[in-house]
Amino acid sequence: MLKLPIYLDNNATTPCDPRVVEAMLPYFTEKFGNASSRTHAFGWEGEEAVEQAREQVARLIGAETKEIVFTSGATEADNLAIKGVYEMYSGKGNHIITVATEHKAVLDTCHHIEKLGGEVTYLPVDREGIIDLAGLEAAIRPGTVLICVMYANNEIGVIQPVREISRIARKHGVLFFADAAQAVGKVPVNVNDPGIDLLAMSAHKLYGPKGVGALYVRRRDPRVRLTAQMDGGGHERGMRSGTLNVPAIAGFGKACEICRTEMETETQRISGLRDRLEGGLLQLEQVYINGSRTHRLPGTTNLSFRGVQSEGLITMINKDIALSSGSACTSASLEPSYVLKALGLDDDLAHSSLRFGVGRFTTENEVDYAIGQLKAGVERLRANSPLWDMYKGAIGAKKG
């Protein structure tokens, strides 16, 4: 039996897998020790849980356990990576290269760097949302200390050519940082192939708890050094002080273990559901897929419905279907998505876009129900839309 509302916003967050919750529970009550308490069994149990999770996270991305630094999430990891590199390598230069479609956690951090006197180059993307590699290489200068390109976009799901980006970074002796919050656990990510120096991830994007994430920091070839952004105790090898959230970290580790063992079969099922969703909605007139259809995450699609305001459509169906018109981090803004604008969409088409995030617990029945509700909603809104009437009139005039 179909249970409403249906959740199709897995890019914003994912529900905790019950197996993750089960792994966390003992560390709230029975094994509640501080992982930094080294003088008794309660602390040893906490430390053991943290180190087991560190190994589980590391295995998912092909890293060494000592290269994993636990944080409160990907936003903190982004800040630690960018600010930490900028300060540590200030003797080499003050120039950072990033992309116009990055998450706000990266863009706002780069704006902060500019206020400190740093220089930032914001690369454009093509209509598919992918950077130009020649443009990236041309932007590198003697004072460039970091290339910052997200692995997969949170709004359109487009995967950047990370292997080629890494090659360019290595060629010029520049560190490469990737925000991989949307990619880790959904597609194979290995920091040694292509060769990523810093990588941010978040538990709640891969069916783990909120409030915990990690930063991968390469230890050799090259050894990456960071200036800590949070002081007070020297936790996490001096990179991130603060009492470790043992229950959440244990859950993060379990979530990574599940992703590592089940990713292949899960990817096939989820990409099939995404294609089913797209196929149903593309039966409508003037519906467009935003971003690359080839280089993208298995569960993400971003569609524009010409002649329809996305907020109106969301309001119409939000009692039954959970969707968003873009990033959860900028959902309060009435401005069209800066990601879609960077792809070259006009304001009207950008305002008509919806992001769909299919996930582990999405079913075929839910997808079919969503297709039916959305098609009915679009047709209803278009029937009362001056924009749609104008568009149809223009098409009719061209045919005449």
Q: Are residues 109 and 225 in the same domain?
A: yes
Q: Are residues 136 and 179 in the same domain?
A: yes
Comparing C-alpha atoms, which of 214, 106, 202, 206 is closest to residue 160?
Answer: 106
Q: What is the pLDDT of residue 237?
A: 86
Q: Which of 239, 258, 277 is the last residue of a domain?
A: 258
Judged by DSSP in three states, 201 sits in strand
CB 310 within 8 A of CB 354: yes
Strand 321-322, strand 6-7: pairing: parallel
Q: Are residues 42 and 167 in the same domain?
A: yes
Q: What is the pLDDT of residue 343?
A: 97
Q: Are residues 143 and 240 in the same domain?
A: yes
CB 348 within 8 A of CB 258: no
Its domain, for residue 307, covers 6-13+263-399
Q: Which of 258, 289, 312 is the last residue of a domain?
A: 258
Q: Are residues 150 and 298 in the same domain?
A: no
Comparing C-alpha atoms, which of 277, 300, 286 is closest to residue 352?
Answer: 286
Q: Are residues 253 and 267 in the same domain?
A: no
Which residues does 290 contact at the CB level (< 8 Å), separation at least 6?
129, 156, 302, 303, 304, 340, 343, 345, 353
Q: What pTM value is reported for the model?
A: 0.95
Among the listed residues 16, 148, 259, 329, the single catalytic one is 329
Q: What is the pLDDT of residue 396?
A: 57
> Is residue 1 included in any domain, yes or no?
no
Q: What is the pLDDT of residue 212?
A: 98
Is 329 one of the annotated active-site residues of the chain?
Answer: yes
Q: Which of 215, 239, 258 is the last residue of a domain?
A: 258
Which residues does 108 contact at the CB level (< 8 Å), separation at least 6?
none
Q: What is the pLDDT of residue 284?
A: 97
Q: Are residues 219 and 154 in the same domain?
A: yes
CB 150 within 8 A of CB 184: no
Q: What is the pLDDT of residue 6?
A: 98
Give the residues of the chain that fall short of pLDDT 50. 328-331, 400
